[in-house]
Amino acid sequence: MFTVYILFRAKSPKTYVGYTDNLKDRIKYHNGGKVKAIKLFRPWRIIYTELLKSKAEAKQREQYWKSGAGRRNIKKIISGSRPTFRKLGEARSK
């Protein structure tokens, strides 16, 4: 099983999206300053996780969260709202 996770730091505010097969160790790694790109923005807290069966699914889902629609849903999560997802191929309502 793989976990896609979203980290948040309220002070900046900043978010980080990633995936792993060991969430507990990965968060320790992030908050231990071992990821150069985000080490200046510690501490991080988990605001969202999803479990997926394969690495390929996790990579695909990570890419969604990094897209425009995913970022809009991250803002909803931060504000306390539920994210909204469309079914594959479903048109956006106006």
For residue 67, tell me if it sits in a domain. Answer: yes
Bridge-based pairing of strands 45-52 and 14-20 is unpaired
Count of beta carbons in the 10 Å neighbourhood of residue 85: 11
The percentage of residues in the chain with a pLDDT greater than 70, rounded to a whole number, is: 90
Sole residue written with tokens 């099983």: 1
pLDDT at residue 45 is higher than 60: yes
Q: Is the dihedral of CA 64, 66, 67, 72 positive or negative?
A: positive
Full residue range of the structural domain in which residue 22 is found: 2-79
Q: CB-hemisphere CA count at 13 Å for 22?
A: 5
Q: How many domains does the chain have?
A: 1
For residue 92, tell me if it sits in a domain. Answer: no
Convert the pLDDT of each residue in 48-58 to its tens digit: 999 999 999 99
pLDDT at residue 93 is higher than 60: no
For residue 40, tell me if it sits in a domain. Answer: yes
For residue 84, tell me if it sits in a domain. Answer: no
For residue 93, tell me if it sits in a domain. Answer: no
- Give residue 87's pLDDT: 59
Report the SS3 class of residue 79.
helix
Q: What is the CATH number of the domain that holds 44?
A: 3.40.1440
Residue 70 tokens read as: 């995913």
Convert the pLDDT of each residue in 9-37 to its tens digit: 888 788 999 999 999 999 998 888 888 77
